[in-house]
Amino acid sequence: MSTEHRLPSSAVPRRYRITVEPDIPTASFTGTETVTIDVRETLTSLTLNAIELDIGEASLVDDRGTSYPATIGYDEPNERITLTPGGPIDPGEWQLNLTFAGVLNDQLRGFYRSTYTDEDGNEQTIATTQFEAADARRAFPCWDEPEFKATFSVTLIVPSELVAISNMSEVGRTVRSDGKSVVRFADSPIMSTYLVAFVVGRLDVTDPVDVDGVPLRIVFPPGNEHLTSFALEIGAYALRWLSNYYGIPYPGDKVDFIAIPDFAFGAMENLGAITYRENAVLIDPATTGQYEQRRVADVIAHELAHMWFGDLVTMKWWDGIWLNEAFASFMEMKTVEAYKPDWKRWLAFAVDPGAERTDSMDIDALASTRAVEFEVRSPEEANEMFDPLTYGKGAALLRMIEQYLGVDAFREGVGTYLREHSYANTETEDLWKGLDSASDGGVGEIMNTWILQGGYPEVIAERVSGGLRITQKQFRYVEDAEAMNLWRIPMQIRVGTADGESIIKHLLTAESEVVPFDGPINWVIANAGGHGFYRVRYEASLLGALEARLTELDPLERFTLLDDTWAFAVEGSVPIGGFAVLAAAFRDEQEHAVWQMLATHLLELGRYVPNDDRFTDFIRRLVGPTADRLGWEPAEGEDDLARRLRGQVLTTYGCLGKDPETIRRARSLFSEVLADPAAVDAEVALAVLAISATFGDVDDYEAVVKAYESSSNPQLQVRFLRALSYFPGLDAADRTFEMTIDGRIRGQDGGWVIAGLLANQSTTDHIWNRVTEQWATLTNLLPPATQRYLVHSLPAMVEPGLARRVEAFFAETGFPVAAKSLSQKLELQRAMVSLGLREKDRLDAFLSE
């Protein structure tokens, strides 16, 4: 790996003593720091990271106490400063003293400001931080790379009426003559700069919950205490469960969950001071659905998993960020599965929206995919690593190898890895060595074929004399003669013969192999359990045998069969009618996750036949029996996923099937749902909003806007924003778009709301025109971390003329903050447009049958 883009290791920080004083009214801050550094060779200058900071004074003090003033050179393109003391910096321990000043920005990175309206209608401002990947340098000068771990001693100077939070517990507080409090925090463990946190503002704090000696609190804008109990419950459970799983105590002295009104991501794993978007931590279980509750549980479990995997043990460089995030995603699933087994978290992982398995498989079937681990040379490239391949594919690969090695062996290997590298930095090979120590070895040989090259295989399964022939080739949506990667595929194969069924483990290492079986094979599932990160193409007789026994397959196996068939339709080897016939076989499906995937692909299919009554009739025949069976009222004792299935089916029946009675019933409940979120079951309420907005008028739109602007509940705000993007009228779409410009919709949400408008077939063309006209405004206004949402919905824009306009626009317009994401979305859009053009006549013939 090239290190030209990295700071030299000739001087290494060991301890930071940082004092920061934010001035919230002027949106600015000042600070001082003393950094203890270990100089390893004679130097004439020191280079470290700083950007958007004014450095006042700089000096170096040697081990005899002699101080050497230093001149300051700025290298803004590389976000660095160079300090030159005018004499040699000899090997040994030195103290670097700096003063600095900066601006509390509005870009949701570095040290920034976030606002909320209090219960008296006054705007209040919070000063808070977001440093990952490389933005600590915007708050204090530092060696802002993950390998430069150090201890941090933080002091915050704040008005006495404000709450001050950092990574560790408060250990001292004095009041200055000007009335401000000087708040000192305990020394941190050794950790990377991106994990440091400061939060200052008018905030409330819950009483701590003791979790085996670790105090857990929720910090939040006043007025939201009634939304904190769920986070405390899952937080305490997850902290205890994870500590037990890893076999290592929590590495900090307290845990604060801090709800921030303006936040670019879902949350951030700052050790002991985890910051969250409000709707990722504040929730009322009485008025929310299973997905909303599970998402809060997911995010909390994910961030707590990072306390060990990421904070205690950290990647050496950003090319290894996949391991931090993938493992936290993997552990999030295991934790929530243990917390709520009836939520079937691993099944949901395959299908749910967001950066999970399905999204990553779509991207990884493109020529523009990337390897999970690749060289990172800049902060921009590091930020682009936070994508579905890092989270979704990475977690899926860990699940695949866990299932192949065995759950106990995997856990033992992870524990060995963490204990050997605590408070240090690692590379991916270190984890493979840990897993090798608890298994038969060879983990690296398997996993490097998945991590170090892009893409994934399809496995062709064929009956042959003496067994099952399995053949691998790289799967691509668009045929590519150069796509010839091979993998070492850890497979679990379930086979049915005259003697019964059996499961075997097989490592496919060649392009093609025969797996021997005694006797004739009646049926086979070449991805038993559905955990393998590959698609399976069955010969016709084997596929027919599976279709005949759908109800006997595991839910995840049914899901993968359906999803693989859709992927083969997009790729072109299966006619679209073939997928539709298979979809019709799922009309009696009772598993929510399978229905959700079915509904997703039906929505995609419907984009090629807008306003076609034949497609509407097909949806009604497919969905109607289940909608009638489930009805509108939850049954006594019904579990959360059964309730969620009702909401999903009603939404599909109303929005895609356009069933008149479903639309009428939804609209009759619309005002009631807006006025009182608890008036009906939460899953039904979500369906009511979606259906009513899809067929809504101007008065309905006004009612949703009013509900959004008057609500202080983060979950309801997201619901209402999503509903605004469903309305069919161009005037409504224009108003929603303008709300993202004028600030009535927060910058953290503006990108995904525009993505929703672009995915709405009735508004997509018009909103695309607005986006192109306002491109400069949007990219200046939206925080950099959220701008990728502007291209998120390109694959849904399948009208050929519109797709050509999109291509032409980006041929002339750069998008550096999301260059990789843009290339992937454009390629996926081309694949989806090709599907519509290629299958137009066959789809027409199918619907006419």
Task: Measure the CA–CA gap between 798 and 831, rounded to whole angstroms.
Answer: 9
Q: Which region holds residue 454: left if phi is over 0, alpha if psi is between -120 and 50, else beta?
A: beta
Neighbouring-strand partners of residue 514? 469
Q: Is the dihedral of CA 350, 352, 357, 358 positive or negative?
A: positive
Collect all residues with Cβ–Cβ distance below 8 Å to 288 and sequence separation of at least 6.
682, 715
Collect all residues with Cβ–Cβ distance below 8 Å to 47 and sequence separation of at least 6.
7, 8, 80, 81, 82, 83
Which strands sit side by side in the sheet containing 170-175, from one edge to the other? 67-69, 53-61, 92-103, 28-39, 11-23, 151-159, 180-185, 170-175
Which strands sit side by side in the sheet containing 46-49, from one edge to the other? 46-49, 80-84, 71-75
Q: Are 171 and 160 in contact (CB under 8 A)?
A: no
Look at residues 589, 541, 532 and name the one whose alpha carbon lies nearest to residue 564: 532
Look at residues 679, 685, 681 and name the one whose alpha carbon lies nearest to residue 666: 685
Q: What 3 state SS string does 22-57 have?
A: EEHHHCEEEEEEEEEEEECCCECCEEEECCCEEEEE
Catalytic residue flag (residue 123): no
Task: Measure the CA–CA gap between 629 and 684, rounded to whole angstroms.
Answer: 15
H-type alpha helices, 274-372: 290-306, 321-339, 345-349, 357-364
33, 145, 278, 303: the active-site residue? 303
**Tokens 């509903």 — which residue?**
723
Q: Are 794 and 806 in contact (CB under 8 A)?
A: yes
Q: Which region holds residue 547: left if phi is over 0, alpha if psi is between -120 and 50, else beta?
A: alpha
Report the half-sphere exposure of 486 (CA within 13 A, side-chain side): 10
Collect all residues with Cβ–Cβ distance below 8 Å to 120 and sequence separation of at least 6.
none
Task: Measure the CA–CA gap between 383 and 134, rounded to whole angstroms.
Answer: 8
Q: Which region holds residue 190: left if phi is over 0, alpha if psi is between -120 and 50, else beta?
A: beta
Report the half-sphere exposure of 347 (CA within 13 A, side-chain side): 19
φ, ψ (nearest 5 deg) of residue 728: -85, -20
Q: Is the dihedral of CA 542, 603, 400, 483 positive or negative?
A: positive
Residues marked active site are found at 303
